[in-house]
Amino acid sequence: MTLMFSRSLYDPDALRETVAAYGELATWTITVDDHTIAVVCTDPSPEIPDLTDHFANHALHLSIANARRSSEGNL
Protein backbone atom coordinates (compact mmCIF):
# COMPACT_ATOMS: atom_id res chain seq x y z
CA MET A 1 0.00 0.00 0.00
CA THR A 2 1.29 3.45 -0.88
CA LEU A 3 0.41 6.44 1.27
CA MET A 4 0.79 9.90 -0.28
CA PHE A 5 1.38 12.95 1.92
CA SER A 6 1.43 16.56 0.75
CA ARG A 7 4.51 18.51 1.80
CA SER A 8 2.24 21.51 2.33
CA LEU A 9 0.92 19.69 5.42
CA TYR A 10 3.45 17.00 6.30
CA ASP A 11 7.06 17.46 7.37
CA PRO A 12 9.49 14.97 5.79
CA ASP A 13 11.35 14.65 9.10
CA ALA A 14 8.08 13.77 10.83
CA LEU A 15 7.49 11.01 8.28
CA ARG A 16 11.03 9.70 8.83
CA GLU A 17 10.45 9.70 12.60
CA THR A 18 7.17 7.86 12.10
CA VAL A 19 8.84 5.26 9.88
CA ALA A 20 11.40 4.69 12.65
CA ALA A 21 8.69 4.45 15.33
CA TYR A 22 6.61 1.97 13.31
CA GLY A 23 9.56 0.05 11.92
CA GLU A 24 8.82 -3.18 13.77
CA LEU A 25 5.21 -3.30 12.59
CA ALA A 26 5.82 -3.29 8.82
CA THR A 27 8.42 -2.62 6.15
CA TRP A 28 8.37 1.05 5.19
CA THR A 29 9.96 2.85 2.26
CA ILE A 30 9.88 6.64 2.03
CA THR A 31 10.41 8.81 -1.05
CA VAL A 32 10.42 12.61 -0.86
CA ASP A 33 10.07 14.97 -3.81
CA ASP A 34 9.30 18.68 -4.10
CA HIS A 35 5.55 18.35 -3.42
CA THR A 36 4.82 14.93 -1.97
CA ILE A 37 6.09 12.29 0.38
CA ALA A 38 5.30 8.72 -0.65
CA VAL A 39 5.44 5.99 1.97
CA VAL A 40 5.13 2.37 0.89
CA CYS A 41 3.97 -0.08 3.54
CA THR A 42 4.61 -3.78 2.95
CA ASP A 43 4.28 -6.80 5.23
CA PRO A 44 2.10 -5.00 7.82
CA SER A 45 1.45 -6.69 11.13
CA PRO A 46 -1.82 -8.64 10.88
CA GLU A 47 -2.48 -7.81 14.54
CA ILE A 48 -3.12 -4.14 13.68
CA PRO A 49 -5.64 -3.96 10.83
CA ASP A 50 -5.70 -0.14 10.74
CA LEU A 51 -1.92 0.28 10.99
CA THR A 52 -1.66 2.77 8.14
CA ASP A 53 -4.34 4.97 9.76
CA HIS A 54 -2.35 5.02 13.00
CA PHE A 55 0.81 5.74 11.00
CA ALA A 56 -0.78 8.71 9.21
CA ASN A 57 -2.18 10.15 12.46
CA HIS A 58 1.22 9.88 14.14
CA ALA A 59 2.91 11.56 11.17
CA LEU A 60 0.37 14.40 11.24
CA HIS A 61 0.87 14.90 14.99
CA LEU A 62 4.65 15.09 14.58
CA SER A 63 4.30 17.44 11.60
CA ILE A 64 2.14 19.81 13.64
CA ALA A 65 4.51 19.64 16.62
CA ASN A 66 7.52 20.33 14.38
CA ALA A 67 5.75 23.29 12.72
CA ARG A 68 4.85 24.77 16.11
CA ARG A 69 8.41 24.42 17.39
CA SER A 70 9.74 25.94 14.18
CA SER A 71 7.38 28.92 14.36
CA GLU A 72 8.42 29.49 17.98
CA GLY A 73 12.10 29.36 17.03
CA ASN A 74 12.72 26.27 19.14
CA LEU A 75 13.92 23.87 16.45
Please state the domain count of the chain. 1
How does pLDDT run across 16-69, given as a tens digit for each residue?
A: 999 999 999 999 999 999 999 999 999 999 999 999 999 999 999 999 999 998
DSSP state of 35: S
**What is the rounded end-to-end Cα distance, in angstroms, of the chain?**
32
Question: Which residues face 5 on adjacent strands?
Answer: 37
Q: What is the pTM assigned to this prediction? A: 0.89
73 backbone dihedrals φ, ψ, rounded to 5°: 75, 20
Check residue 70 and give its pLDDT: 84
Whether the pLDDT of residue 73 is over 90: the answer is no
Check residue 74 and give its pLDDT: 57
Q: Which domain holds residue 6?
A: 2-71
